[in-house]
């Protein structure tokens, strides 16, 4: 996928990541800030994608975006939870997508905010997100992208959902790999990995669960400009989101099973070690008693005058060892 330095795409300019006018045939023409600010409905459907880190993008949303104050402030809010709402002049959707930026984790999900009045689509990101770039590539390079604002709105949500699905499948594959490593490797080495995996799954569910509710609310009260075909596409996206949540819940249960299995294996290893130590202690307990008894320095100890006493004593100890081994084997302690 192309990055922002790709010459095939518009260069970012003061918070305008890109903007384009749809031609109604799957392609689009890039436009810059002056054309965005001078746009009118007769120019064709407009898509504006903004980066909120730049003051000009914030000022445009507040003063020239054509949306109400409440809507513009909702788009400017950092770390928004997934939700939808009808505004006075348009429809606002706040969703979350996986984070593919270098040095980040996919579960650190990035907000994508979409506003549309049926003739314009304004998308806003708090951090770099690849979903809008995917759709832009279809428009400018593949020339098989969305033809209308309704198509654009649906395709953004579809692509966002697809990327979440890719991440969920990757986590499931990694979890299956942990199970194989548990059979072949050291369980102590996997304990931290399983805990980290469970944290990732819990963090993803934190955002995907309300996203499911937002998509369901969208299907119940869709905007008037969203046609029937795209409503069906969004219904499919909502169904896939439910499937992803179920997959995450199943994976979380799987991590609990792995965690219990790791704990059991570590406990078994500890018990085996303690068992061996107990057997060794049991074998050498009589030896300690005899050597302690014959080691006391008082008169009357047998064999003190015999040159063969030590050899006889060692032979007795060997015989005692053999007898103990035989006894332990009969008792199935060894």
- What distance in Å separates the CA atoms of residue 297 and residue 304, rounded to the nearest whole number? 11
**Fold of the domain built from segment(s) 272-330:** Methane Monooxygenase Hydroxylase; Chain G, domain 1 (1.20.58)
How high is the pLDDT of residue 299?
A: 65
Chunk the chain into consecutive blocks of 10 residues (it has 334) and report each block's average pLDDT, rounded to whole numbers.
Answer: 53 89 93 92 94 89 87 85 88 88 72 93 88 92 92 95 91 86 74 86 89 92 93 94 94 89 83 84 81 72 74 83 82 72
**Fold of the domain built from segment(s) 16-263:** Beta Polymerase; domain 2 (3.30.460)
Residue whose tokens read 């969004």: 234
pTM of the complete model beyond 0.85? no
How high is the pLDDT of residue 3?
A: 43
- Is residue 196 within 8 Å of residue 259, measured between CB atoms? no
- What distance in Å separates the CA atoms of residue 317 and residue 16, rounded to the nearest whole number? 89
Compute the half-sphere exposure of residue 151: CA atoms within 13 Å on the CB side of its CA.
Answer: 17
- Is residue 60 within 8 Å of residue 80, measured between CB atoms? no
> What does the angle CA 67 – CA 111 – CA 11 come to, to the nearest 5 degrees?
75
Compute CA 40 distance to the chain's CA centroid, rounded to the nearest angstrom. 42
In DSSP terms, 20 is beta-bridged to 30, 47
How high is the pLDDT of residue 6?
A: 55
- Is residue 134 within 8 Å of residue 1, measured between CB atoms? yes
In DSSP terms, 48 is beta-bridged to 19, 122
**What residues does each domain of the chain span?**
16-263, 272-330
Burial label for 121, CB within 10 Å (0-12, 13-18, 19+), is buried
- What distance in Å separates the CA atoms of residue 210 and residue 33, rounded to the nearest whole number? 34
- Is residue 89 within 8 Å of residue 68, measured between CB atoms? yes
How high is the pLDDT of residue 264?
A: 85
């Amino acid at each position: 996928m192309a990055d922002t330095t790709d010459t095939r795409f518009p260069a970012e300019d003061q918070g305008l990541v890109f903007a384009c006018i749809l031609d109604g045939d799957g392609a689009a023409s890039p436009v810059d800030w002056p054309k965005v600010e001078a746009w009118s409905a007769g120019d064709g459907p407009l898509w504006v994608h903004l980066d909120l880190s730049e003051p000009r993008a914030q000022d445009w949303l507040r003063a020239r975006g054509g949306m109400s104050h409440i809507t513009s402030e909702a788009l400017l809010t950092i770390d928004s939870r997934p939700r939808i709402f009808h505004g006075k002049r348009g429809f606002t959707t706040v969703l979350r997508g996986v984070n593919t930026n270098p040095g980040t984790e996919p579960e650190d999900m990035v907000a994508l905010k979409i506003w549309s009045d049926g003739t314009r689509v304004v998308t806003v990101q708090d951090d770099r997100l690849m979903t809008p770039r995917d759709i832009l590539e279809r428009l400018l390079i593949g020339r098989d992208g969305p033809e209308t604002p309704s198509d654009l709105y649906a395709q953004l949500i579809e692509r966002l959902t697809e990327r979440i699905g890719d991440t969920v499948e990757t986590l499931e594959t990694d979890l299956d790999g942990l199970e194989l490593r548990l059979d072949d490797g050291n369980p102590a080495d996997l304990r931290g990995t399983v805990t980290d995996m469970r944290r990732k799954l819990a963090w993803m569910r934190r955002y995907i669960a309300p996203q499911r509710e937002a998509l369901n609310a969208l299907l119940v009260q869709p905007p008037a400009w969203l046609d029937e075909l795209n409503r069906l596409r969004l219904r499919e996206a909502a169904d896939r989101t439910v499937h992803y949540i179920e997959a995450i819940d199943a994976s979380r249960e799987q991590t609990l099973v792995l965690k219990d299995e790791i704990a059991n294996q570590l406990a078994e290893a500890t018990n085996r070690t303690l068992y061996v130590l107990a057997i060794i202690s049991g074998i050498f307990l009589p030896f300690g008693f005899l050597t302690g008894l014959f080691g006391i320095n008082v008169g009357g100890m047998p064999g003190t005058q015999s040159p063969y006493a030590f050899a006889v004593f060692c032979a007795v100890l060997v015989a005692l060892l053999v007898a103990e081994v035989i006894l332990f084997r009969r008792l199935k302690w060894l």
